[in-house]
Amino acid sequence: MRLARALALLSLLAFPGIAAEPEKVVRSVLPGETVRVYIAYHTERDCTRSGEIRLAVIEAPAQGRLFAKDTTTRGGFGYNNPRYHCNQRQIAAVEILYEASGKADGLQRTRFGLVFSDGLMRVIEAEITVWAPPAEPKAE
């Protein structure tokens, strides 16, 4: 455990463009199902993709797996942002997904970074509750 934390700290220090406080995300999912944990995009002023976004897993979940998948989404740029017009169309994005194992149950914590092509890194801490609905009571 100490080694994992030390490696996480070293990986954070290797990326000088990260935010001071990680963004926190809370999700829930059924065992064996997949849930979107986060979606990220990085665009030019003309709404084209501004390079690759890579997933860097800092702390893997105890059960299940975290992975990235290319997708599209509508932008969420503020009115004063020069990319505001990108909100009216689909833009390239990367979604981070968590796939719960069939036997997973309880709270899964994970920490990952999104490394953008310009060297910036956004760190996200996710708490994912994997829960199974209670079984139907048996008829007597």
In this prediction, residue 139 carries a pLDDT of: 67
CA atoms within 13 A on the CB side of 110: 28
- 52 band by pLDDT with thresholds 50, 70 and 90: very high
Find the distance separating the first CA and the last CA of the chain, reported in whole Å: 48
> Residue ranges of the domains in the chain?
2-130
**What percentage of residues in the chain have a pLDDT greater than 70?**
82
In this prediction, residue 1 carries a pLDDT of: 47
Tell whether the model's pLDDT for residue 16 goes beyond 70.
Answer: no
Higher pLDDT among residues 20 and 55, named by residue: 55
In this prediction, residue 128 carries a pLDDT of: 95
Sign of CA dihedral 101, 102, 104, 109: positive
The DSSP annotation for 21-67 comes to: S-EEEEEEE-TT-EEEEEEE--B-TTS-B-S-EEEEEEE--SSSEEE
Task: Report, as an integer, the average pLDDT of 25-41.
Answer: 95
Tell whether the model's pLDDT for residue 4 goes beyond 60.
Answer: no
Under DSSP, is residue 105 helix (H, G, I), strand (E, B) or coil?
coil
pLDDT per residue as tens digits for the range 82-112: 999 999 999 999 999 999 988 778 899 999 9
Q: Does domain 2-130 have CATH number 1.10.3470?
A: no
Residue with tokens 């849930």: 35
Structure token pair of residue 2? 């100490």
Task: Report, as an integer, the average pLDDT of 118-128.
Answer: 94
Task: Report, as an integer, the average pLDDT of 53-67.
Answer: 95
- 21 band by pLDDT with thresholds 50, 70 and 90: confident
